[in-house]
Each structure stands twice: as structure tokens, then as C-alpha cells.
A and B are shown apart, each in its own frame.
Chain A
């Protein structure tokens, strides 16, 4: 009796491992292929029949990205675009966290008139398609001389990332008991002290989670950047990748190198901080 159960258990486990392997292949296959393409020689990339395991690999394309110094070289443009993306994403993350967290606290723990209506409006803002604003925005930015600059792009990104932070963080603050606040006030703490020394430390996992998601959203943003940037001064990584697709119609290796470099930061962040990300995503999406 005991043996038959354990042999059934083994069969189930073998089946689970088989499907697990299948999932792993589908998940990792394209990623592995992107890496292989980035180090394969052009001759092998266009070979027929295609050899899946290259015999000879080269890291020249990576070297080209980091060594190129000519502004007309797409590899150089891509390196600068990575830098622009990074500067913009860091600024957006820091600013949106500071501004958004303060508001989220107010929405979760303070009573004020019009709170629910305002929260609804903020959620709508987050869901709003940017295309519903893009033509006037372009005209306004053009008149102000804000086109093709990094910090006006930061402002644009804040306009949809701050609502996201408020939406998710008010959920985190909401789960913290009001009794903390009352106790702190009995002890003579001011409201600001209560927020800074009681609530912020408790909500820190939430702040880390939303901060990471804010960084990823900014890193990923394409539409505004496509419309508002045109040169090395502000062009971001996604726009540079889109241009790569037009320029390197044969050398898929270069497209893959750009893809790998563009994915490196978000993938590392996601794998390392997975627990926080899951926390942030589920708080924003599903109430528990």
C-alpha cells in the first residue's frame, strides 16, 4: 500500500518536472537566443541551415558599444541613450517616491473633504492613455523650448508615475493601524514626527517595492520619449532600440547587444528584489 502511493507520487513528480522544464524552456529560450545572437559572427547569423550552437563567438559588438566615440555611430548613440535613461529613471524614482508617499499617507490616514473623488481622479489619471494629451503637450513643450531635454521628460513621467505611487502606497499605509498614530501623539510627537519616525519605517517595504516599480516604468517608457526626444541630449534607451531596428537590418547581433544592455538593469533588479516587486504589484492590483 505504502509503496503504491510513493510510486504514484514519483510519477506525479516526474510529470511536474516535465512541465516545469517545458515552462523553463519557453521562458528562457528567447533570452538565451538573444544572448547567442549577440556573440555570434554575422556569417553564422545568416547561415542556412541555422546552427543553434555557434562554433565561434565574438564580443566585438559589446566592445563597440563601450568604445565608440563617434556621434554618428549608432553604438555610441546607444551608450548615451542608456545614460539618459538611467539619469531620468533615477530622478523620477526619487522625486515620485518623496512626493507620492506624502500624499499616499494623507489619503490613507487623514480625513479631508473630497478625498474619495480625488482618489478616483488620480486613478483615472494613471489609466489615461497619453495619446489623449500628446498633441497639445507637444505644442506647449515646443513653445517653452522644452523639446529634446531630459528634465522636461522627467516631469512628464512624474505625471503618471506619481498617481501609481499614491495608489499603491495608500494601500500600504492603510494596513498600518491608526493606534500607532494616537500613541505617538500621546507621547507628544508632532504629526510630521509621527509620519517620519513611525509610519515611514513601517511602510519601508512598500516604499522599496513602489520605488522599484517606478524605476522600471520610467526605464520602459517609450511613447513620450519617441515624440519628445530627437538627439543625444535626451534620447532614451527604448527610442535608440527602435532606431537600431531600422539601421541594422542585417546585423541582428547589434540589435541583440542593445537588447541585452537595455534589459540588464531591470532584469537584475527584478530577480534580486523579486519579493518586493511581488509585494508592490499585488498591493496595487489585488486587495487582500
Chain B
């Protein structure tokens, strides 16, 4: 028992500095934000200072704008996560083969991931430019378009552009994860399957895919959480426009807080996002725990 006390005291000494740094910063703001979502603190409101109960939550959840934001957030989240997972797996399968140049390819594949998010946004913005952009120049040269298009200025294509820009940067992360998982698969299993007469496609379905399932799940959940919180690339490329076509929950929260000064509305949005993120984190942890048993 004494040893246990001593061990606990030692543990407390080791974790205290972290806890001060982490919870010292976040506890007061996180609780205060919760209070803001129940008490009207909008500086421009005539009800300022009044207790609103669930008023802001009811207002938010019954507003058209919120559900439109959520729809756009899901559009971005699902499209980019699907692209990253699909192409990440495809490229990893390619890089797991032996052919001339594969070593070089494995070391350059990570470069887009290393480029800062904000730089990535400005790079794609200039490539997609409607007047001088290189993408317009290339598409025109190959006769895929007849005249230059304002890709980011068109509500129909703006979100697609952000999805492409984000997928270009983040697909390498999925490649790295899949490559690590592929290299962990026992090669003798493939050998045995080949002897039993399985073709490569059957081997993929029967061996590779099941072995990669935990990795696929982790990537999907982890990336979904990150996409849901994405802000930087939207700020850089479109600022929620044109015609609100890229206004996501995160971006709208930012606008409510820093442009419209609707602090309580912003706090409510923020808590709804945090709730969604917390739920997804729980899913993530359950997946990790299950991964342990495999």
C-alpha cells in the first residue's frame, strides 16, 4: 500500500506540469462558452444578459441556415474522406510493388502532406484562377473546356475545388498508413493462396482487404473528425462564398463570432460541433480498442 502511494505521488509529479498547461488554458474558456450558449451575451441584442435556457439551441436547430451549413460540411467531409481513402489505398497498393523508381516515389509521396495547409490553399487558388490559372490553361489546351472558367467563383464548382485541394494534400497520409499496414501482412499467406489457385484479385479480396479493415476504419474516423473541423482552407480559398456555397459549420461559427458579433449563437454552434466531434472521438476509441484484440 505504501508503494502504491509512493507510485501515485510520483505519477502526480510527472503529470502535473502537463495538466497545468492543458487544463489551465482550456477549462475556463470551455465552461464559459457553454454559459454563453445559455445566456444571451450578443453585444447588439436588446435581450443582452438574459438567461435564454435552451433558446439558442432551439433557434439554431430550427434554422434553415444551420442545416444548410451541416449539409455543406458533410458534403466536404464525405467527399474528401472518400477520395483520400480510395486513392490512398490504390496508391499504397502500387507503392507496395517492386518496380524501377518505386523507392523514389515512396519518398516524394509525402511532400504534399508537408506543405502547410495555408500554403496549399493559396497554391490551389492561384492554379484555379479564372483569368490566368494554369488549370484553365491546361484544360483549354487539351480541349476539355472551350473558355476559361472561374472555378472558385462559381457556386456549383467552388466546393469541388476545395475538396480537390484538400485531397491532394491529405491523400499521402492515407498512403503512409496503408503502406505500413500492407507491410505488416504475412507474405506466406499470399503464397499459400497462390498455391491454392487464387488469382491476385481473389487474394486481394480474401487477404488484403480484411487485413486492412482496421486501418480503413481508423483513417475514415480520424479524417472525418479533422474534416469536420476544417477552417484554414476555406478561409484561404473562398471565405464561405460564393453565395454561401462553401459555408460550413466551422466557417459559419467563425463568421457569427467575428463578423456578426453574435457571440451566443457562435457558442451554440461551437458546442454542437464539439458534441459531434466528441461522439466521433468515442467511435475512434472503440475502434482502437477493437484493433488491440486483432
Contacts and interface: CB of A to CB of B under 8 A. Distances in A.
B258 interface: yes
A282 to B, nearest CB: 5
Interface string B157-200: 00000000000100011001100110010000000000000000
B235 interface: yes
A55 B245 CA distance: 39
Interface stretch (A27-35, A57-65, A69-77): A27-35
Interface stretch (B20-28, B46-54, B75-83): B20-28
B127 A244 contact: no
Contacts of A256: 123, 126
B65 interface: no
Contact of A123 (B28, B115, B253, B285): B285
Interface string B68-99: 00000000000000000000000100100101
A270 B111 contact: yes
A155 B25 contact: yes
Contact of A110 (B14, B263, B267, B269): B14
Given A191-B10, A244-B122, A131 B253 contact: yes
Interface in A216-235: 216, 219-220, 222-223, 226-227
B236 A49 contact: no
Interface string A116-128: 0010101111011
Given A132-B274, A140-B29, A99 B254 contact: no
Contacts of B12: 112
B134 A105 contact: no
A121 to B, nearest CB: 8
Interface residues of A, number: 94
Contact of A20 (B101, B214, B278): B101
B63 interface: no
Main SS of chain A's interface residues?
Answer: helix
Main SS of chain B's interface residues?
Answer: helix
Contacts of B229: 129
Contact of A103 (B17, B36, B108, B231): B17
Interface in B102-140: 102, 105, 107-119, 122-127, 129, 131-132, 134, 137, 140
Contact of B141 (A49, A133, A140, A191): A49
B202 interface: no
A242 B236 contact: yes
Contacts of A158: 21-22, 25
A39 interface: no
Given A256-B126, A259-B119, A128 B26 contact: yes
Interface in A90-112: 95, 99-100, 102-103, 105-107, 110-112
Given A27-B111, A100-B18, A287-B292, A135 B250 contact: no
Contacts, number: 268
Contact of A286 (B236, B250, B291): B291
A128 B181 CA distance: 28
Interface of B: 4, 7-8, 10-12, 14-15, 17-19, 21-23, 25-26, 28-30, 32-33, 36, 91, 94, 97, 99-102, 105, 107-119, 122-127, 129, 131-132, 134, 137, 140-141, 168, 172-173, 176-177, 180-181, 184, 214-215, 218-219, 222, 225, 229, 231-232, 235-236, 250, 253-254, 257-258, 263, 266-267, 269-271, 273-274, 277-278, 280-281, 285, 288, 291-292
Given A52-B137, A277-B110, 12 more contacts: A19-B94, A27-B108, A46-B131, A50-B137, A99-B18, A111-B7, A127-B278, A128-B26, A136-B28, A242-B118, A245-B236, A263-B119
9 contacts: A16-B94, A46-B132, A112-B11, A123-B285, A128-B274, A128-B277, A244-B122, A263-B119, A285-B222
Interface of A: 13, 16-17, 19-21, 23-24, 26-28, 30-31, 33-34, 37, 45-46, 48-50, 52, 95, 99-100, 102-103, 105-107, 110-113, 115, 118, 120, 122-125, 127-129, 131-137, 140, 155-156, 158-159, 162-163, 166, 191, 216, 219-220, 222-223, 226-227, 237-238, 241-242, 244-245, 252, 255-256, 258-259, 262-263, 266-267, 269-271, 274, 277-278, 281-282, 285-288
